[in-house]
Amino acid sequence: MSVLLQLTDAVKSYGDQMLLDEASVTLYENVKVGFVGRNGAGKSTLLRVLLGDEELDSGTVMRSPHLRVGYLRQHDPFQADESAMDFLMRDSGQPDWKCGEVAAEFELKGEYLTGPVKRLSGGWQTRVKLAALLLHDPNLLMLDEPTNFLDLRTQILLEHFLRHFPAACLVVSHDREFLTSTCTHTLELNRGRLTMFPGVIGSYLEHLEAEKLRAERTNAAVQAKQKQLQRFIDKNRAKPTGASQARSKQKQLDRLSLEEIEADLPTVHIRPPQIEPRQGPCVRCQELSIGYGGTAVVTGIDLEIEHQQRAAIVGDNGQGKTTLLRTLVDSLKPVAGRIKWGYGCEIGVYAQHVYTNLPQDKTVLEYLEYKAKPGTTTQECLAVAGSLLFRDGHTKKPVRVLSGGERARLCMAGLLLGTYNILVLDEPGNHLDVETVESLADALLTYKGTVLFTSHDRHFVRRVATNIIEVRDGRVRNYSGSYDDYLYYVNREIEEGERERASGRMSAPPAGKLNAGKGEKGSSGKDQHQQRKTLRNLEKTISRLDEEKKSLTAEMMQTADPKKAMDLHAKIASVSSELEEAEQRWCELQQELGEW
C-alpha cells in the first residue's frame, strides 16, 4: 500500500500553546480517515501544514510524487453571475458533458446547474464545490468540517459520495455519525500528539475507555503491592534477621511504577431551567402562512404542539425551517393565519442572531446577572458560568473579545438561568464542540418544558426529538414515524435517484462505444455461447470476491492490532481491485451481447 503523505516529529506552536508536539502520522492510498479533536486542538492548522500553506517549527512533511490533493474550500471561489456549469468548466477544464455527469451525482440539474451559482444556498454551493473536486481526479481528499450548515439531504449525498470515492480521505468533523458512515480509520489530535486507530470513531472511543479502565485497575494493583512491600520493609529493615529481606523488597518496590493516566480535560455540565411541568397544548397554528415582505414561502400550516414535547423541525435548507421558528416567536409577522400560545408560556430563544447581538461591553458575569431571574445570587451565576467553562478570570472578559463558540456557550448559560418553560433552539450545535452538544442533549432529556428546535446533527436529533415536523415544498406536516424512519425515507429517495442515474448511463453508453461495432459482423452463435459461459463464471467470481471483501472488512473492524489491521486493509484493497476488474469485464460482455 503506497504512502501518500507522511508527517514526522512535527512541532508547531502559537505563543504558549503547543499544537503539535513531535507528532507523527502516515496517510496511505485508499484509506479514509476521520480526524477528531477538541475545538482549538490544532486540526485546521495540521491540514494547512499538510497542504503546504503553513510551515512547521520543526519536523518534516514528505509527499508522494503521485499525490493529488483535493481540498474542500470554505471561501467563495465563484465569479459574479457565473453558473454552476460555468464554474465547473472553468475550474476543471473539462467539457460540459463531463461536468454535467459529475454534477448529477450531487443532484445538480436545471436551474441549480445553469442559474447564478451565488444565488444558491450554502448547502447547494457545497455540492458544486464537491463536484469540482471530483473533476480534478484527486487521490486524497481533505475536508474540514464538511457538514457545517449542510442540510440532511446534502449530508447523506456527501456520505454516499465519500463511501464510493475510490481514493483516500482525511475528514475533520465533530459529527460522529457522519464519520462512522464514511471513514474506516480514526485520527485524534490531543495535547499535541497524533494517534491513528484502525477502526471507526465509536470503536476508538470504546478502546480509549477500555485502556483507561485497564490502566486504573493496573495502577490499583500496583499501589496495593507497593503498600504491602512498604509495610514489610518498615517492619523488618531494623531487624538483624530481616534486613537483607527488607533490602530485597526495596529493590522490588523501586521497580514498580504507575502507568500515567492523563487527567480528563474540563467538560461542560449543563443544567436545564427548573420549572413545573405542564399538560395540554403548548402552541396552535391555524391556516398559517409564513414568509417575508408579504410573500409566503409556506402556506396552510395547521399544527399543534403539546407541552413537554421536543419537536424537531426538519427539511432541506431554504424550505422555511428558520422562518417557521422566527414566526412562532414573533420575530417575523405571519403572512396570514394565526398562532396561539398556551397560558403562562415563557419562551427562551437561542439563534444565530441572538449571540451575534450580545452587549459588547458587558462582561460574562455582568451579562449572566442581567439575564438571571430575580433573586439569583452572584455565586449561582458563577456556578452556571463555570459549568460552561467560564472560570476564574474568564468571567471578567468582555463579550467583544469572546470567540463564536464562547458566545454560543454564554447565550446557553443565559437561557439556563431563566425560568423559561419553552425553549426555541435554531441549530444549537453550531459553534459548540461535540462534548458541549452531548451535555446539551443530556440536559434537554431531563428538561420538564417544551423544546422546538432545528438541527442537522442526526445523533443529536435522534437522542432528543420526541416528534418530527417536516417543512417541504411549501407545506408543514407532522411526520408520523420516528426520526430513524424519516432518515430511511430520505436515504431511499436519494438511492432511487442514484439508481435512476445509473440506469440512464447504462442505457445510453458513450457515442464512441455505440458506433464501435458499425460495419463489423455480429458475434457468431458459437462466440455468443462462449461469452455467456464467461459471463456466468464472472458472476460467480464477483459473488465470491464480494463475500471475501465483506469478511475481511468485518475482521478489520474487529481487530485492535494496528499491524494486523493494515495487513487486512492491503488484502481488502487487492480484493477490491479484482472485484472492480471483474465487474468491468461483466459490463463489457453484457454490452457486447446486446443485453444493455
Bridge-based pairing state of the strands 32-36 and 336-341 = unpaired
| Neighbouring C-beta atoms of residue 198, cutoff 10 Å | 22
288: β partners: 301
Is residue 305 pLDDT above 80, yes or no? yes
Residue 343, Ramachandran bin (φ over 0: left; ψ between -120 and 50: alpha; else beta): beta
**Do 102 and 193 belong to one domain?**
yes
| Segment 362-409, tens digit of pLDDT | 999 998 888 888 888 888 888 888 877 788 788 888 888 877 667 878
Percent of the residues in the chain that have a pLDDT greater than 90, as a whole number: 28
How sure is the predictor about 510, in pLDDT bands with cuts at 50, 70 and 90? Answer: very low
Do 112 and 65 share a domain, yes or no?
yes
Instruction: Using alpha carbons, list the distances in angstroms from residue 143 to 62, 324, 464.
Output: 20, 32, 28
CATH number, domain with residue 169: 3.40.50.300
Let me know whether 409 and 300 are in one domain: yes
Cβ atoms of residues 192 and 16 within 8 Å:
no
> Is residue 202 scored above 90 in pLDDT?
no
How many domains, the chain?
4
pLDDT for the residue numbered 444: 92
Region 231-245: mean pLDDT is 84
- From 464, 489, 514, the end of a domain falls on 489
The band of 592, judged by pLDDT with boundaries at 50, 70 and 90, is: low
The pTM for the full model equals 0.67
- For residues 89 and 38, state if they share a domain: yes
In-domain check, residue 93 = yes
Range of the domain at 210: 205-255
One domain for residues 190 and 244: no
Q: What is the mean pLDDT of residues 529-536?
A: 72
| Whether residue 572 sits in one domain with residue 440 | no
- Same domain? For 132 and 20 the reply is yes
pLDDT tens-digit profile of 62-74? 999 999 998 886 6
pLDDT at 581: 75
Same-domain status, 166 and 111: yes
| pLDDT tens profile 110-147 | 888 999 988 887 778 888 988 898 898 899 999 988 88
> What is the pLDDT, as a whole number, of residue 593?
61
Please report whether residue 573 resides in a domain.
yes
Mean pLDDT on 299-319: 91
Q: Is residue 462 part of a domain?
A: yes
Asked if residue 230 and residue 348 are part of one domain, the reply reads no
Domain assignment present for 130: yes
pLDDT digits (tens, 9 = 90+) for 326-363: 999 998 899 999 999 998 899 998 886 666 678 888 99
Domain closes at, from 255, 272, 289: 255
Identify the pLDDT of residue 506.
Answer: 43
Q: Which helix (DSSP H) or strand (DSSP E) does residue 182 occupy?
A: helix 176-182
Q: What is the pLDDT of residue 33?
A: 95
Reply yes or no on whether the pLDDT at 308 is more than 90. Answer: yes
Q: Region 403-425: what's the mean pLDDT?
A: 84
**Cα distance between residue 85 and residue 99, in whole Å:** 7
Instruction: Give the integer Cα–Cα distance in Å for 519 and 251.
Output: 92
The reported pLDDT for the residue numbered 512 is 40
Quick one: average pLDDT of 414-426?
88
Residue 79 sits in the same domain as residue 210: no
Cα(first)–Cα(last) distance of the chain, in Å? 36
Q: E strands, 293-403, where?
A: 295-306, 310-314, 336-341, 347-350
Q: Is residue 275 part of a domain?
A: no
As a whole number, mean pLDDT of residues 239-261 equals 84
Q: Minimum mean pLDDT among 87-96, 410-419, 457-466, 580-589: which range?
A: 580-589
- pLDDT-derived band of residue 211, with 50, 70 and 90 as boundaries? confident
Question: Which of 200, 223, 240 is the C-terminal boundary of a domain?
Answer: 200
Average pLDDT score over residue span 495-500: 72
Average model confidence (pLDDT) across the chain: 83
Question: In this model, does residue 535 exceed pLDDT 50?
Answer: yes
| Residue 446: inside a domain | yes
Q: What is the pLDDT of residue 452?
A: 95
Judgement on whether residues 58 and 177 belong to the same structural domain of the protein? yes
pLDDT range class, residue 517, cuts 50, 70, 90:
very low
Most confident of 149-163, 195-209, 254-268: 195-209
Based on the fold, state whether residues 122 and 236 are members of the same structural domain.
Answer: no
- Residue 434 included in any domain: yes
Give the confidence band of 515 by pLDDT, cuts at 50, 70, 90. very low
With vertex at residue 88, the alpha carbon angle to CA 146 and CA 163, rounded to the nearest 5 degrees, is: 40
Does 20 have pLDDT greater than 50? Answer: yes
Of 79, 85, 75, nearest to 115 (Cα)? Answer: 85
Residue 296 in domain: yes
